[in-house]
Amino acid sequence: MESLPDHGLRVRRGSLVMIVLGVMLFVLSVVYLVPHDMGVTAVLRSRGVHTRAVVTECTPVGGPQDNPAGNCDCRVRFATSDGTSVETRLAYVTGTVQVRDTVTVVYDPRHADTAALESSIGLWDSLVRNTLDVVALIASVGMMLMGFAVRLAYGWVTRAQPRPGPQRPRD
């Protein structure tokens, strides 16, 4: 049988892990995911230049069991409007292209290394990415709240229970 102190330590550590993971996911979402996804899409929609590119490399984003859609992190090579040759990583993973495919990309003329497939900045793909970003934010807040709730509830429960201590003689 587990003793109360071991159980209490496990509960406190578990709630602390939930809080820390929630904070990390929240920071990741606020600092990287949301600004990146919204920023890249907004820039490419507003001033992006369409051009043809050749896919030079595709790396799966996970093992086959973790990546049933076959999404890959791909690199493309294209020429900018001034003739400069650029090879860069696509801003978003994709499961629709393979090495040596010719695709249409949209790149930022101010920062030619920012490029995405034309299809990746469409309304549907952007909506899905933004929805996932919001889900990550909600999950992070939920994890933090759950961690705090468990810590508080455990504190209240353990304070309400009588603690073993020295026995006083009865009169």
Domain boundaries defined on the chain: 4-159
Residue 170 has pLDDT above 80, yes or no: no
Contact at 8 Å (CB) between 52 and 72? no
pLDDT digits (tens, 9 = 90+) for 4-26: 456 677 777 888 888 888 888 88
pTM, full prediction: 0.59
